[in-house]
Structure 1
Amino acid sequence: MKKITATTTRSRSLAGLCVLVTTLLLAPGAAAQTDQMYFPAVDNVTNLLVSKINAETARIDIAAWYLTERSISIALINAHKRGVQVRLLGDRGSIFEIEQRTKAEYYWLASQGMPIRLRYNPTWFPEIVHGKATIFKGQRLVSFGSANYTPFQLAPASSTNYSDETVLFSTDSALVNAFLTKFDVIWNDTTGEPNSRISGPPYLKNWDDACASESACSDYRTQYPNAVRATISTARLEQNYAMPAEMVWSQGPEFNNRLVQEINAESNSIKFVIYRLTVDNITQAVLNKFRAGVPVQLIVEPTEYLNRKWPEFWLTHAYIDKLWAAGVPVKQRRHEGLTHMKMLVTSRYATNA
């Protein structure tokens, strides 16, 4: 089976660029030798990540939207203190506007001298660091998927309270190299992003500069008066490895159209787990296949079906209703947790998103 591996975004807009968004088509057979998929509903991915961080001897590159799992933070600081180079990429929106626990965790990490850079330009959605990826240079390993670095999304709280997620660990050389290059280019911050709404870099700020620009960070030095200032180098550390032929690093039409292409090509079955559905062409492609007699199974997250936070989110309710009214089988979770997975499965492809 071929596989698309992807990370997608939760953003207020479907246009523009989101950093560390990837779609990849792997050749048949590659996944069996190099990939391991974990499901935090039943797997403790926290422990696995901590063990990999503890085992790393060269460099750890990590991109995080939400980061509240203290055991991961402790492992990263311990790696940093034993001489392993650690580079943490975050987003000003999640830290200073959205998630107070993530803000507190970044405060602590920054106070320990962790090299941190934040996506800062532009400051609005959808150009954000929404990735959940860790690259282990020495182990030639990358992990990424739908789960944020939070206790609830990386391991089950109980047999009835968990988050439906996927996290892929891969030692596939082409994939690892692609992540090494992409992260390095973003960290270096001298290369323009083709889908950005602004003319060019810099897109990032170092932690101290970002904090100084934010009223929401005014208490950082009060909380950590003896904070260690990180030494941050933005020099390139990796060569420009070739990207896999069908790698996509952006959200919006480039990714959505690739999903539509695969849905349109499917004649056996379509299984879709959807966190948020705000795209008309994907909705219509699924509906067309259902009307053509292709079996379709859809699982949705009920809180997102009812989400009214932003007008764009209302579309999820409308598009799910459109599919349900046409007779598409739709189910939702009964457990206490969350369906945060974004997974399309056809007879030829599966997404990790």
Structure 2
Amino acid sequence: MCATSARAADTLCDPSTTNCRTQLLTLIQQEQVGIDVGFWFMQDSRYMTEIVKRFQAGVPVRVLIDPRANASYPGNDQMIAGFQSAGIPLRKRTASGILHWKMMLFAGQNTVEFGSANYSPDAFVPAADYTNYVAETVYVTDDPAVVNSFKTKFDDSWTDTSSFANYANVGALTRTYPTYPIDSSLNFPPAQDYAARAIGRYNAETLQLDAIMFRITDQRHTNAIINAHNRGVPVRLIIENDEYRDPNYMWDPWNVDRLYAAGVPLRWRGHAGENHEKLVLL
């Protein structure tokens, strides 16, 4: 008989009513082999504190950061400084665009957490169930194909000398994991064009297209969704109020208005907090 390691159920945590931070902190506290972290910004010191504790206990840690977030997200600089002063290796993105990852990988538990939620105090925990929360997708999985894909992509970024540079405490740039194939269900921009892939799915849909989108700035999505609506596919879209009113992102109201004018049913957030989800359901 052949025995296979048991897998825990995948978790899609809903911070409208669930404390998703507890699960993530537990994963950090239980890790014995290695932790890899990549984020756009971090403001909740609980994560930094627990990661530093594991590093001090001898668990290897690597962190990918983007200090360009400091100007817009107070406290991110303090989290980076905390990792740096603890001696944790940090590399920073230097290429155009931003490092928009929100992920933690736990090598000993063969588990990865990723999704739309930044590591802020309000993204993982509701202020009040169902009435004051940040709508997010927080996904935790030990699916080997997904975990191994993130291992390879993290190693790719860690050893990349074109788009990343050393920030602090970095020795030789070496890969930690074997190089695995990337699961075809995943998409890693900017190396892969998410819009091109998504539009192919929109164009093939015949039954129902539902989406929750924080911000819409690429008209390719809008065009394809309008086309789906025009050919009779039922479409429903939930958007974020504040993005529609934000003068810094005028492409969002332009795209939303086009969807409205085309007759696509639209709703927006009715609860306090924010709709930060990015979800398409086909």
Corresponding residue number in structure 1 for 2:128: 158
C-alpha RMSD over aligned residues: 1.8
Aligned residue type for 2:24:
L
Give the secondary structure class of the aligned counterpart of 2:236: strand
Corresponding residue number in structure 2 for 1:350: none
* Alignment partner of 1:297 out of 216, 223, 236: 236
Corresponding residue number in structure 1 for 2:62: 87
Corresponding residue number in structure 2 for 1:211: none
Higher relative contact order (CA 8 A, sep 6+): 1
Aligned residue type for 1:62:
V
Corresponding residue number in structure 1 for 2:72: 98
Corresponding residue number in structure 2 for 1:130: 100
Give the secondary structure class of the aligned counterpart of 2:108: coil
The 10-residue stretch of structure 1 (128-137 or 234-243) with the greater mean CA deviation from structure 2: 234-243
Contact 2:211 2:279 in 1 (8 A): yes
**1:142, CA displacement in angstroms?**
0.6
Corresponding residue number in structure 2 for 1:343: 279
Provide the TM-score with structure 2 as the length reference: 0.92
Provide the TM-score with structure 1 as the length reference: 0.74
**1:78, CA displacement in angstroms?**
0.4
* Alignment partner of 1:206 out of 163, 166, 175: 166
The change in CA–CA distance for 1:147 and 1:290 in structure 2 (over 3 A counts) is same
Percent of aligned positions with the same letter in both sequences? Answer: 31
Corresponding residue number in structure 2 for 1:317: 253
Q: How many pairs align?
A: 275
Give the secondary structure class of the aligned counterpart of 2:24: helix
Corresponding residue number in structure 1 for 2:3: none
Gaps of 5+ in 1: 1-31, 190-200, 209-229, 347-353
Aligned residue type for 1:42:
T
| In 2: Cα distance, 1:232 partner to 1:252 partner | 26
Matches within 5 A, 1:215-294: 230=169, 232-251=171-190, 254-294=193-233
After superposition, the C-alpha distances for 1:71-91 in whole angstroms (9 at most, x for unaligned) are 111110100000000111101
Contact 1:113 1:231 in 2 (8 A): no
Corresponding residue number in structure 2 for 1:184: 155
Give the secondary structure class of the aligned counterpart of 1:256: helix
Corresponding residue number in structure 2 for 1:48: 23
Corresponding residue number in structure 1 for 2:91: 117
Matches within 5 A, 1:29-68: 34-68=9-43
After superposition, the C-alpha distances for 1:240-270 in whole angstroms (9 at most, x for unaligned) are 1111235432149821011111111111111
Aligned residue type for 2:13:
Y
* Alignment partner of 1:171 out of 142, 146, 149: 142
| In 2: Cα distance, 1:49 partner to 1:70 partner | 13
Aligned residue type for 1:113:
G
Aligned residue type for 1:153:
A
Give the secondary structure class of the aligned counterpart of 1:276: coil
